[in-house]
Amino acid sequence: MTTSPLQSRDLDRDHASPGRFAMITGRVGAIFVAALGVVHTGVNTYGFALADWQPWAEYLIFGLGLSVIAFALAFGAWKLSTANRPRWPVAVLVGIGGLLLILQTVGIAITDPALLIRPLGPGLWSIVGGPALVLEVVALGASWIGAVRRHPAR
């Protein structure tokens, strides 16, 4: 049996608060991702209504399903920004979500740059939301690494 220099209970323990930077970036990211979910729901519901309410499966999967994912990501980012003990699986999912939003922004910038400045487009919300989520996770990771170095496992 192998042992790790870090005990498993130390992985979820944060010896200090996440810090002001992580809190601010997490909340900003959560607000922008929640706004993206609201815009996505509204635009897709309007398009679904114009299509005579026909493609139910597409609407439920790509319309409401992606909006639910955006709301869950926003909730996770907000909870991370206020938690004394961050949950690292949630932090990993928030970081991956932030990276996907950054990739979405790059794709929008390449294909249709006008969507980057439209309030009803995904670009405006992804430009701020994606990097904010990634910065929150990086700040939390740096805080955790610093805490582990200050208080090594015995």
**CB contact burial 7-43 (16+ within 10 A = b; e otherwise):** eeebeeebeeebbeebbebbbbbbbbbbbbbebbbee
d(CA 69, CA 36): 11
Burial grade of 130 (CB within 10 A; 0-12, 13-18, 19 or more): buried
Among residues 152, 149, 148, 138, the alpha carbon closest in space to that of 19 is found at 138
Identify the pLDDT of residue 6.
Answer: 52
Model pLDDT for residues 91-104, shown as the tens digit of each residue? 999 999 999 999 99
For 99-136, the pLDDT digits (tens) are: 999 999 999 999 999 888 888 888 889 999 999 999 99
Q: Binning pLDDT at 50, 70 and 90, where does residue 15 land?
A: very low
Predicted TM-score (pTM) of the model is 0.79
pLDDT digits (tens, 9 = 90+) for 21-58: 999 999 999 999 999 999 999 999 998 888 887 888 88
